A and B are shown apart, each in its own frame.
Chain A
Amino acid sequence: MLAEHLPILHVLIPLVGAIVLLTGGVLRPLREVAWGLTMLVVLASAVSAFQLIPRVLSEGRISYALGNWKPPYGIEYAVDSLSLLLILLITSLTVIITLYTRHSIQRDITPNQQPYFYSAYLLFVGGLLGMVTTADIFNLYVFLEIASLSGYALIAIGRRREALLASYNYLMIGTIASTLFLLGIGYLYMITGTLNMQDLQARLEELYGSRTLLVGMAFITLGLSVKMALFPLHTWLPNAYTYAPDAITALMASLTTKVGVYTAFRVFFGVLKPSFLSQVVPLEEIFMLLGALAILGGSLMAIFQNNLKRMLAYSSVAQIGYIVLGLAMLNVSGMMGGLIHIVNHAVVKAGLFLAVGNIIYRTGLEEVDDLNQIAQQMPKTMLAFTVCALALIGVPLTAGFVTKWYLVLGSIEAGRWFLVPVIVVGALLAAVYLWRIIERAYFWSRKGGALTPPAPLSASREGGELGSPSPFTERGQGGEVNPDPPSPTLLPNSEQESQSPPAPKTSEVPLSMLIPTLVMAVLSLALGIFAVLPLNLAERIAKSLLGAE
């Protein structure tokens, strides 16, 4: 009985969970179990998502009519191999990151806020899942807003007051974008009379010359480009990622922009047909150019950042460039590269952000310059960071290599040789900005670190609080001088802290944070070595997207 509702379950479970948690905000006993409940919910959602695999592989596209109203009239949900890829990615990464939030989020919110936080968290996940599953373009807008609004809220709770501004700016830009998207939907509706994507695709084909369609698509593209932070429209991203809570940064960096990319290409291949691109506007050329610009611009910006999270945020801008570049090539290899990079980058970047989150959690250090010898203090975290960094650069045997290999293949196939150096240079630039960290963490002596002006670090408060006699303790206590509001929130945390070993050197983060980080590192290796599985799926998707022609 449940099986027939499978295509919608993974969306509904988080949403219902969010409602339960909201009521939990009022009931005291539920506050204690907010995290556990969230974990259960995301696990359940993941389980239901994984049950979709065999059905999609055997039946192809599964359609689900909500409330049993026939699709063009009612809302349709549909899972095909492309959305399946995203659904699996979202649900499984959420499980891992939820584990991570348990301790890491306690620095950002009070225990009282926990049910609300997890409620917003689940709404965010549910919104994203809805976006990738729906086959109705207006429903897409509604879920886009659910995900965006909860995303703004999750950013706004960041520790520093800049988080508020980051959230506000994101909200402004994001809302303008979604308003444009809505207007675009209006245009499409006006000339077709339908909102169902398949229906739109069929009805639009004869209207390819229409100006209304052209402008409508332009608005939709513009709106979605903001959401996926495509290069010139990425301005909201660095601040948002820098000031959001660490776990949220990891979640958003790996998922939000990917869903944006997914939506854009769902629109291009599911509402239009590839022939639109060749007949009407060579949009893929523009996207390819923007992708290439994003790779270079994002990577260059990343090199000049000293804040860890900001650096990784700019790196995300660059990586989005790779994805867009690959998908815009419109040939199987390139699209495979882009599709796999959606998965690979999500995993790798989540791993990097989690590792950085670990460093910040334990030491409060957010600047690259302060990281000398951090590897001695947190060997496991840095190991994970290094592995993920290598994967991001694209060293053979890691996830990034597979992607870049296919991207290079794709650009040669497309006859665009100038893209090959872009891809390679992008990797080299990534190596530059990531190597800075690794070098400091492993090789620079602490003496060298003392040469850099010791910055007063109010954020390193917990350095002193947790009593870990790390080299940074002294500075941490220095930061303690000014009374820090979030400090009280740390108290319950240090009580739960079962393993803050008084060992002289190593002081790792709680297991609930360490394990997800390591899992990501292992995954980014696994995706490189056992690339066959995702490759098969990606090939399938690429062929089906192009095959529509």
Chain B
Amino acid sequence: MWIDLTLLGLLLALALGITFSRDTLTGSLLLGAYSLILAMLWVDLNAADVALTEAAIGAGVATPLMLLAISRSTRAELGEVLMTVQRYRRFPPFLVLGLVAGALVYASLDMPPLGNPNNPANQHVAPYYVQNAYHETGSENIVTAILVCYRGFDTLGEVLVVMTAGVAMMLILRRS
């Protein structure tokens, strides 16, 4: 339990640090750290596969990408010095954020209890996977089994998104 709490505290601190960091470089480095801590938290929540992915992609791919972008643009940041014109424009964002926050809290009031095996999320489809994945697909890792078999088309779509990003980069960066 205390592991969870420590990690959570770290995450919160990092998130705040990212939000209020002074320049982009600090921000992206902190984001990398944040991803790693997040991955640890997920391991603790029994989501090892996702944690690996987050560590590899969130910390391992996103951070270098950010650094690349910073090195090819600029590190300096104006910060929070917004013009007078923009001051009134800052009101709606906070209003929207408040609304979203309210909605989140409101919804969480009658959510199924955390971690209960009898939650609907854990009841309907999931047990089928747990019981049959190994026998039907031969994969010991149930996550893998779902990923490439039951929901293989999602994964194809995911690969296509990556491909789209590649194509998009070729389109916008390689114009000469």
Contact = CB atoms under 8 A, between A and B. Distances in A.
Interface string A49-76: 0000000000000000011010011110
Interface stretch (B19-27, B46-54, B82-90, B121-129): B121-129
Given A67-B149, A75-B154, A139-B157, A113 B174 contact: yes
A126 B175 CA distance: 25
Interface string A140-168: 00110110011011001100000010000
Interface residues on B, range: 35 or more
B6 interface: no
B134 interface: no
B60 to A, nearest CB: 21
B153 A67 contact: yes
A113 B176 CA distance: 10
B130 to A, nearest CB: 12
B104 interface: yes
A69 to B, nearest CB: 5
A216 B157 contact: no
Interface stretch (A191-199, A330-338, A471-479, A501-509): A191-199
A285 to B, nearest CB: 19
A117 B121 contact: no
Nearest to A489: B175
Interface string A71-85: 011110000000000
Nearest to B158: A142
Contact of A193 (B103, B123, B154): B123
Contact of A190 (B119, B160, B161, B165): B119
A149 B168 contact: yes
B75 interface: no
Interface stretch (B7-15, B32-40, B62-70, B106-114): B106-114
Contacts of A190: 111-112, 119-121
Nearest to A134: B153
A153 B172 contact: yes
Nearest to A180: B100
Interface stretch (A18-26, A34-42, A368-376): A18-26
A74 B150 contact: yes
A66 B94 CA distance: 43
The interface residues of chain B, by DSSP majority, are classed as: helix
Contact of A73 (B125, B165, B174): B125
A112 B171 CA distance: 10
Contact of B171 (A143, A153, A191, A210): A153
A97 B154 CA distance: 29
A193 B120 contact: yes
A143 B157 CA distance: 7
B174 A142 contact: no
Nearest to B109: A211
Given A73-B129, A192-B124, A193-B123, A218 B103 contact: yes
A149 B165 contact: yes
Contacts of B160: 15, 18, 123, 126, 146
A123 B164 contact: yes
B170 interface: yes
A72 B171 contact: no
Interface string A216-241: 10110000000000000000000000
Contact of B110 (A22, A192, A211): A211
Contacts of A203: 120, 124
A69 B172 contact: no
A123 B121 contact: no
Interface of B: 103-104, 106-112, 119-126, 128-129, 149-154, 157-158, 160-161, 163-168, 170-172, 174-176
Interface of A: 15, 18-19, 22, 25, 66-67, 69, 72-75, 109-110, 112-113, 116-117, 119-120, 123, 126, 130, 138-139, 142-143, 145-146, 149-150, 152-153, 156-157, 164, 187, 189-195, 199, 203, 210-212, 214-216, 218-219
Given A120-B171, A191-B111, 9 more contacts: A66-B153, A126-B160, A139-B151, A145-B161, A192-B124, A193-B121, A212-B107, A214-B107, A215-B106
The 5 closest A-B pairs by CB, nearest first: A193-B124, A153-B168, A215-B107, A142-B157, A193-B120
